[in-house]
Copies of this chain bind each other. A is one copy, B any other.
């Protein structure tokens, strides 16, 4: 018997952890709050990485590797930065059997050490821009952890760039925000909202932080990537200067931006259902599973079916497929397993199908009979490729509809308080921190972002009723 996972409606948090562990995506490590990413989860992460990395390279960025350890004194150089990160640091005090003169911090993020290196490398305007990214592990001492979403150690990419002017740095920050949005929509099928963070939610040390915000299956928000315009804050703290064309010393303008393994959590919570994971075809480790079904003790049938499977495989080209020929497991058991693992498409083939020169094609994103159809063996490869595209598009469409259906536009603070418990609330906000504070205290919702896309004109703040320039998106968040 296949052991079912708990339905989402019963306990969303428990569903989430069960799916991850049963699908062998990840596991808790014996070190509190740390995670092991298992091969199936890592294969998904590799596909995420590849898609992001090729976009970074296409926009002129290069990868590099900076040290894991940062001297404590570096962290302390930028006032807001140290305030934001000091409570979360893991500290190395001993090395090689001796106590260290200066403790080393295990990087929570790398603005400081990279800033130091940039101050060494950058001399002249000819050295700019510097466009570097690193794929790395970082550590933040989190008390309440959740696999992929918030763990003590996590994996990410962090881009760090230096520019001659503020305009160029701003342009870079927004270029990356667009790149992240493009990735989320077209690869992860997550309809994110790109926008600006409020002052209280921005990165410690940034001038302006941008974010992509997504709605999870429980209608809570998840910040899925951020891009920061750091102004000259880190350039001044680390003395990143260049000689301009007029032989004058100038401080650089820097940016930083990151997407982490949290994206995996976003994919799981955006698309998963009560059967388990539902992975977007473009980044799914396995796009198609082929399950041959052979009645017991029918060796002739078995041979014929397996031959047909081989012939199908030969036509599949670039499709990432897997043949599950574990004939000692029942077909139903195998179906359940691959549904749990979220493989987008399944081919079922038995002797009777073969006789009719057809197979059953089952879509993961449409459970049950509705998602099943017979298709001729003759052009099955083409059908599979088309179907994968269709699934990808439908997943984005479905997630977008879900988000829109659960996004409200309250016009009074009373209705705001009601609807924000049920999803996203879009409302005018005067950008006053006091309104933000009040609302957070009274509703537990936060300002997720001030979307880039805004309606014309202005309105009145949902809290205080004063004039407001922009709409903000409010939600309870992970």
Contacts and interface: CB of A to CB of B under 8 A. Distances in A.
A329 to B, nearest CB: 11
A90 B97 contact: no
Interface string A1-45: 000000000000000000000000001011100111111011101
Interface stretch (A58-66, A409-417, A448-456): A58-66
Contact of A117 (B36, B71, B92, B97): B36
A63 B43 contact: yes
Interface stretch (A135-143, A298-306, A340-348): A135-143
A111 to B, nearest CB: 14
- Closest 3 pairs (CB-CB, A-B): A96-B141, A39-B62, A34-B67
B31 A104 contact: yes
A88 B94 CA distance: 10
Given A89-B96, A92-B90, A95-B90, A69 B39 contact: no
Interface of A: 27, 29-31, 34-39, 41-43, 45-46, 62-71, 74, 86-97, 103-104, 106, 113, 116-117, 120-121, 132, 136-137, 139, 141, 143, 152-153, 155
A27 B114 CA distance: 12
Contacts of A136: 137
B65 A117 contact: no
Given A63-B43, A64-B37, A68-B153, A30 B116 contact: yes
A8 to B, nearest CB: 26
A35 B117 CA distance: 11
A141 B91 contact: no
B63 A46 contact: yes
A121 B28 CA distance: 12
Contacts of A88: 96
A37 B65 contact: yes
12 contacts: A30-B113, A30-B116, A31-B71, A36-B66, A36-B117, A67-B153, A68-B137, A88-B96, A94-B103, A95-B141, A96-B143, A97-B141
